[in-house]
Amino acid sequence: MKYELIPLSQLDEDGMKQLAGLHHSVIHTLLSDLGVPMVLRYYQIARLVSDVIGFYAITPSGEILGWAMGSPHPDRINSRLQTPFVWFMIQMFRLLFTRPLVLWQLISSVLSALAQEDIRSNSIELTYIGVVLNQRSKGLGKKLLNAFIEASREKGYRSVILSVEIDNKPAIALYEKSGFRVIKTYSEGRYQRHRMELTFK
C-alpha cells in the first residue's frame, strides 16, 4: 500500500481524531484505559509541544496506517492532561463510577513513576509507536522507528529510551532489531516492563 511519512506537527484535527482511535485500538496501556477523549487530548497537546518528535504514515486517501512519537520530557505532556481542570475532573469522576480500577491504576502508576530515577540528560523517550493491524509485518513499524531515530540523532540526542511490556514480543523484536538493549526490568502498577535504550555512537 502507498503511504508517506509526515511530521506529527502537521496533523489536523480530523487526523488527530483518527490517530486517537488508532492508538486506542492498538495500544493497551493506561492512556487507552482512560478512554478516547483522553487519548485525543494527549495528541492535541503533543502536537503543539516543540520538543516532541513524531511521524505518522498516511495513504493518498487519508487513512493513517501508523505513527511513532516521543519527547525528552514525556511527563510534561502527561501533566498537561490535567488541563482544562474542569474537563479533567469530569473524566476522573466518569472513571470513578464506570471503571474505578483504572483510576486506581492511574494513581499507582503516578506513584511508581515518581519513584523512578532514570531520567537521563540528552536522551529522548519513544513514548508510542503503532501500526494498524492489517499492515503489520510489512516493514512500516521499522520505517517509523527509523524516522524517529534519525530525527532524534539530527537533533543532537545521545540516546533513545523506551519502556515496553515484557510480553509484547512484536515490539521487543522491532526494538532489538533496531539495536535497542534492555537496561532494566521493573513494575509499574499492574504492568511489568523492560526499559530499553539505543545509544548513538
Ligand X SMILES: CC(C)(COP(=O)(O)OP(=O)(O)OC[C@H]1O[C@@H](n2cnc3c(N)ncnc32)[C@H](O)[C@@H]1OP(=O)(O)O)[C@@H](O)C(=O)NCCC(=O)NCCS
- Between 64 and 164, CB nearer to ligand X: 164
Helices (H) and strands (E) in the chain, counts: 8, 7
Size of the site for ligand X (CB under 6 A): 21
Can you tell me which of 155, 177, 181, 190 binds ligand X, judged by CB under 6 A? Answer: 177
Can you tell me which of 43, 55, 67, 128 binds ligand X, judged by CB under 6 A? Answer: 128
- Between 118 and 176, CB nearer to ligand X: 176
What is the side-by-side strand order in the sheet with 159-165? 4-7, 53-58, 64-71, 123-131, 159-165, 191-199, 181-188
Query: Dihedral of CA 186/43/75/33: which sign?
Result: negative
| Residue 188 CB partners (closer than 8 Å, separation 6+) | 108, 109, 112, 113, 163
Q: Which amino acid is at 112?
A: S
- Between 83 and 118, CB nearer to ligand X: 118
Closest CA to 126 of 157, 83, 160, 169: 160
Find the part of the chain contacting ligand X (CB under 6 A) among 51-59, 74-82, 128-136, 181-189: 128-136
The grid coordinates of residue 13 equal 484535527
Measured from the CB of residue 96, what is the shortest distance to ligand X in angstroms?
27
Closest CA to 28 of 141, 194, 174, 168: 168
Give yes or no for residue 134 binding ligand X (CB under 6 A).
no
Find the part of the chain contacting ligand X (CB under 6 A) among 4-12, 54-62, 85-93, 132-140: 132-140
Give yes or no for residue 147 binding ligand X (CB under 6 A).
no
Closest CA to 57 of 73, 49, 69: 69
Find the part of the chain contacting ligand X (CB under 6 A) among 6-14, 106-114, 148-156, 171-179: 171-179
Which residues within the stretch 24-53 sit at the binding site for ligand X (CB under 6 A)?
26-27
Give yes or no for residue 64 binding ligand X (CB under 6 A).
no
Give phi and psi for 166, each to the nearest 5.
Answer: -65, -20
Instruction: List interacting residues with ligand X (CB under 6 A).
Output: 26-27, 128-131, 136-142, 164, 168-171, 173-174, 177
